[in-house]
């Protein structure tokens, strides 16, 4: 295939001249590549790839892009942290609602028993005390959490 192309351009020549042509073409290609790589063909619009000013420009562009990405990452991290805080607050509030409902149910049962004239078991009193203790513990945790994270005091999911 290559021989046919060469025959098209330079015709039928002896083997020694053909070998010399190959060497000359390879050397010319090599020299042109070096000239291009060094940036000596800028007048033809072929900028070399080893120019220091372009490297500095690329460094500046990359540092700008990296700083923008870092800002986005920091923004996302702060949003995630805030979301986690709101979720923690919501979990504490849900636990308080559950405890209040259980306390209400036990107190209602005690009122029913007292209204019926039946003496309530000691287990009801113990359960009510345990629930109230747990509620005060969760309330104190929630209050401490809200004092530590005042930025989410009004936020809910």
98 burial level (CB within 10 Å; 0-12, 13-18, 19+) = middle
Identify the H or E element spanning 151.
none
Q: Band the pLDDT of 39: cuts 50, 70, 90.
A: confident
pLDDT tens figures, 54-90: 777 888 999 999 999 999 999 999 999 999 999 999 9
The pLDDT > 70 percentage for the chain reads: 92
* Residue 108 scores a pLDDT above 70: yes
pLDDT at 51: 61
What letter would DSSP give residue 46? -
């Amino acid at each position: 295939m290559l021989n046919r192309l060469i025959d098209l351009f330079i015709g039928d020549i002896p083997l020694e001249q053909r070998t010399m042509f190959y060497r000359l073409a390879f050397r010319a290609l090599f020299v042109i590549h070096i000239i291009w790589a060094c940036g000596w063909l800028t007048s033809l619009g072929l900028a070399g790839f080893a120019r220091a000013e372009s490297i500095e420009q690329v460094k500046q562009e990359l540092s700008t892009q990296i700083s923008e990405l870092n800002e986005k990452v920091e923004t996302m991290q702060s949003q995630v942290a805030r979301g986690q805080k709101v979720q923690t607050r919501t979990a504490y509030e849900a636990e308080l609602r559950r405890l209040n409902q259980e306390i209400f149910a036990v107190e209602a049962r005690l009122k029913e028993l007292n209204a019926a004239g039946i003496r309530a078991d000691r287990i009801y009193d113990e359960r009510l005390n345990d629930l109230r203790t747990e509620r005060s513990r969760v309330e104190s945790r929630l209050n401490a959490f809200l004092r530590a994270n005042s930025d989410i005091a009004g936020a809910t999911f």
